[in-house]
Amino acid sequence: MEAPYPTTPISPSTTRIGWIGIGLMGSPMASRLLAAGYFLTVFARNPSKALHLQSQGAFLATSPQHLAQSCDVVFTIIGGPPDVRSVVIGPTGVLSGLNPGGVTVDMTTSSPSLAREISNAAGGKLCWAVDAPVSGADAGAREGKLAIMAGGDSRIVEWLLPLFEVMGKCTYVGGAGCGQSCKIGNQIVGSANLVGLSEALTFAGRAGLDLGKVLAGLKGGPAVNKIMELFGEKMIERDFRPGGFAEYLVKDFGIGLNFVEEDEGEVVALPGAALCKQLFIGMIANGDAKLGLQGVITVIERLNGIN
Amino acid sequence: MEAPYPTTPISPSTTRIGWIGIGLMGSPMASRLLAAGYFLTVFARNPSKALHLQSQGAFLATSPQHLAQSCDVVFTIIGGPPDVRSVVIGPTGVLSGLNPGGVTVDMTTSSPSLAREISNAAGGKLCWAVDAPVSGADAGAREGKLAIMAGGDSRIVEWLLPLFEVMGKCTYVGGAGCGQSCKIGNQIVGSANLVGLSEALTFAGRAGLDLGKVLAGLKGGPAVNKIMELFGEKMIERDFRPGGFAEYLVKDFGIGLNFVEEDEGEVVALPGAALCKQLFIGMIANGDAKLGLQGVITVIERLNGIN
């Protein structure tokens, strides 16, 4: 027996939404859904942290199960795979409460294999699961400009689009787990962009160039990238305030990618990604775990006796 | 005594232009200047290769010196530093023929220190030198969409703009040698983008994803870059035809950047750039020196027993 497809399109007046995870990312995302007129029920381990959402009209549930019982769609965006496992498929988790036809959407950056496990568990309950991790940092979450990479049943992802559009732009990338795999790909490319830019600016600095002019020169050529636009000036101005923490990127690299030290995920040799991971680990080693990703330039500088 | 600044603005009717270097890049660039109405004198070691430019109205000179004697501006875009040294400051080179106030513009990807040496030599002849390497491959050269990174006297670079605008978009990046240094930065970032994309696609392929969808997902997020737009589909479709040869990128990494094996240039440790260089050397080792830069994905694949 297959889970039934939803028969009613998403709308603020009829779709009941659950939200679990009100951190740096989840809080502004939930807030945007409330502002768009949706009824939202929130579960928070520490309810005092949900006060601002309550003041926007959010209801409070006492457990993921309690929340899911009254919701058509439940979003999660929480720490990492162990939290996701417990909150979604644990004894009092989302799937223990969701009605047949309900949808659980995990927006945490988590592992592809866990996403597939959740999808199977959801199917067993005649429910649906979508993995939809995001990229774009807290600013993207506040402004509704997140990149959402969604894996799961294509009709369900399409049905969810009105909600995703409140948060950003969704790209459907394939079946269960594919959203998470695409997010790993995004981190591989993004970190390469960050390290490449850090090295180019460090080189240019040592060569005595005006870094603002160099950045303009790079932006004019085929090496231009969005990371350069987002972080180039910040690197030059030594503004290392975090959009996302460096330590999170290191965590992301431990998910679904089997470098020597991990025992889960695809076995694939990626020397560039492995080096990038080491350089971001350098930030943690330097006590800079809570700086933004652009702070990786300081690791390249330290290598060269700068600062 | 300082070189005199030009008193007449650039114009097709009055500015006499010399062109040396009619390879993959130089030939379409010279052709665009002819099409824009400029009188062009060409020097080519093998005059038969200049026939198509002669049919567009180009004159032929017998040596760089002979060419420079009748020109206000001489452009060079030739193999590498040794060629540039010989053609610009050699016994019968450009500077031996150029009149005071003349400008020699090297668009070869060459070394910053040679650019400074040429600038000094030009000053000694009361002439000007600009280093203005380009990025954008042969398509950019044909379409007049090159990124030009210019170093030298800012007034001279500004004076040259009407000519640069026929070829692409010029960014002034600083004094003599700065154009070359910026180009090295461009190669550092661009190669990181290429390797990052290669690794993300190799990972996603192993994870069983549809690579077209992954590319769409990546393009929607903050990891998006121009390299992805230029080369992403080609990597997926196994179209490794060259815009620029892989071996040229390896050569560029040997200029001005002191990795262990080079004895010239800035001493600066750039682990990412060093790794990228090694991976592009892998292409040469695999017999793929004349493939395009996007072929670096095959090196990542070979590492993983793919293809």
Contact B142, B28 (CB under 8 A): yes
Catalytic residue among A125, A145, A169, A183: A183
Count of CB pairs separated by less than 8 Å, A with B: 273
A294 touches B at CB < 8 Å: no
Residues of A in contact with B147 (CB under 8 A): 217, 220-222
Whether B192 and B48 map to the same domain: the answer is: no
| Residue B57 included in any domain | yes
The answer to the question of residue B4 being in a domain is no
Residues B34 and B170 in one domain: yes
Nearest to B225 by CA among B251, B254, B177, B193: B193
- Is the Cβ of A203 closer than 8 Å to some Cβ of chain B? yes
Q: What is the largest CA-CA distance in chain A?
A: 68
Q: Provide the token pair at B168.
A: 């692409």
Find out whether A152 and A130 touch, Cβ atoms under 8 Å: yes
Tokens 């993959």: give the residue.
B24
Which B-chain residues 135-154 have CB contacts (< 8 A) with chain A? 135-137, 140, 147-149
Residues of B in contact with A223 (CB under 8 A): 135, 186-187, 189-190, 193, 225-227
Other CB atoms within 10 A of residue A54 CB = 16
pLDDT of A261 strictly over 50: no
Q: Which two tokens stand for residue B25?
A: 């890049």
Residue at A5 is within a domain: no
What gap in Å lies between CA B264 and CA A9, rounded to an integer? 66
CA distance A19 to A29: 9
Residue B181 tokens read as: 């240094």
Q: Which of A128, A150, A176 is the last residue of a domain?
A: A176
Residue B10 maps to a domain: no
Nearest to B185 among A171, A177, A203 (CB): A203
Judged on CB neighbours under 10 Å (0-12, 13-18, 19+), A241 is: exposed
Count up the domains in chain A and report the number.
2
Instruction: Indicate whether B87 and B166 sit together in one domain.
Output: yes
The parent domain of residue B111 ranges over: 16-176
Instruction: State the average pLDDT over residues B216-231.
Output: 95
Of B183, B213, B226, B277, catalytic: B183
Cα within 13 Å of Cα(A63), Cβ side:
15
Q: How high is the pLDDT of residue B244? A: 85
| Least Cα separation, residue B157 to chain A (angstroms) | 14
Q: Strands B134-135 and B146-151: what pairing?
A: antiparallel
End-to-end CA distance of chain A: 63
Domain finish residue from A123, A144, A176 = A176
Query: Tell me, what amino acid is at B166?
Result: V
Query: Is A197 in CB contact (< 8 Å) with chain B?
Result: yes
Same domain, A146 and A268: no
Domain assignment of residue B144, yes or no: yes
Q: Give the torsion sign (CA, A24, A28, A29, A34).
A: positive
Q: Which residue has the tokens 């005649």?
A: A126
Closest CA of chain A from B196, distance in Å: 4
Query: CA–CA separation, B179 vs B109, rounded Å?
Result: 9
Specify the CATH number for the domain of residue A116: 3.40.50.720
**Which residue in the block uniquely carries the two structure tokens 């680990």?**
A281
Question: Are B35 and B128 contained in the same domain?
Answer: yes
Query: What is the full DSSP assignment across chain B?
Result: -PPPPP-S---TTT-EEEEE--STTHHHHHHHHHHTT-EEEEE-SSGGGGHHHHTTT-EE-SSHHHHHHT-SEEEE--SSHHHHHHHHHSTTSHHHHPPTT-EEEE-S---HHHHHHHHHHHHHTT-EEEE--EESHHHHHHHT-EEEEEES-HHHHHHHHHHHHHHEEEEEEESTTHHHHHHHHHHHHHHHHHHHHHHHHHHHHHTT--HHHHHHHHHTSTT-BHHHHHHHHHHHTT----SSBHHHHHHHHTSSB--TT--SSB----HHHHHHHHHHHHHHHTT-TTSBGGGHHHHHHHHTT--
- pLDDT, one tens digit per residue, over A145-198 is 999 999 999 999 999 999 999 999 999 999 999 999 999 999 999 999 999 999
Q: What is the pLDDT of residue A265?
A: 67
> Does residue B170 register a pLDDT over 70?
yes
One domain for residues A166 and A188: no
Residue B74 lies in a domain: yes
Task: Indicate if A257 and A121 belong to the same structural domain.
Answer: no
Q: Does A268 touch chain B (CB under 8 A)?
A: yes
Chain B contact present for A184, CB below 8 A:
yes
In this structure, the answer to whether residues B166 and B186 fall within a common structural domain is no
- Partners of residue A186 in chain B, C-beta under 8 Å: 200, 217-218, 221-223
- B255 confidence band (pLDDT: 50, 70, 90): confident
Assess whether pLDDT exceeds 80 at residue B265: no
Establish if B118 belongs to a structural domain: yes
Nearest to A284 by CA among A300, A302, A297, A296: A296
Q: What is the pLDDT of residue B258?
A: 62
Residues of A in contact with B137 (CB under 8 A): 222
Mean pLDDT of A20-25: 94
Question: Residues B91, B200: one domain?
Answer: no
Q: Is the pLDDT of residue B174 over 60?
A: yes
Q: Do A70 and A198 reside in the same domain of the chain?
A: no
Cβ–Cβ below 8 Å for B189 and A228: yes
CA distance B192 to B58: 40
Do A188 and A164 share a structural domain?
A: no
User: Cβ separation of B147 and A268 shorter than 8 Å?
Assistant: no
**CATH code assigned at A209:** 1.10.1040.10
The answer to whether position A7 is within a domain reads: no
- Judge whether residue B261 has pLDDT over 70: no
Predicted confidence band of residue B290 (pLDDT cuts 50, 70, 90): very high
What are the counts of helices (DSSP H) followed by strands (DSSP E) for chain A? 14, 9
Q: Is A183 a catalytic residue?
A: yes
Q: What would the mean pLDDT of B69-91 be, rounded to a whole number?
A: 96
Given a cut of 80, whether residue B58 has pLDDT beyond it is: yes
B169 with B65, same domain: the answer is yes
Q: pLDDT tier at B266 (50, 70, 90 boundaries)?
A: confident
Both tokens assigned to B298: 């095959």
Query: Which of the listed residues A148, A176, A204 is the one where a domain comes to its end?
Result: A176
Interface of B with A in 151-170 (CB under 8 A): 169
Q: What is the pLDDT of residues B209-222, one digit of tens each?
A: 999 999 999 999 99
User: How, if at all, do strands A146-151 and A168-174 pair?
Assistant: parallel
Does B305 contact A at CB distance below 8 Å? no
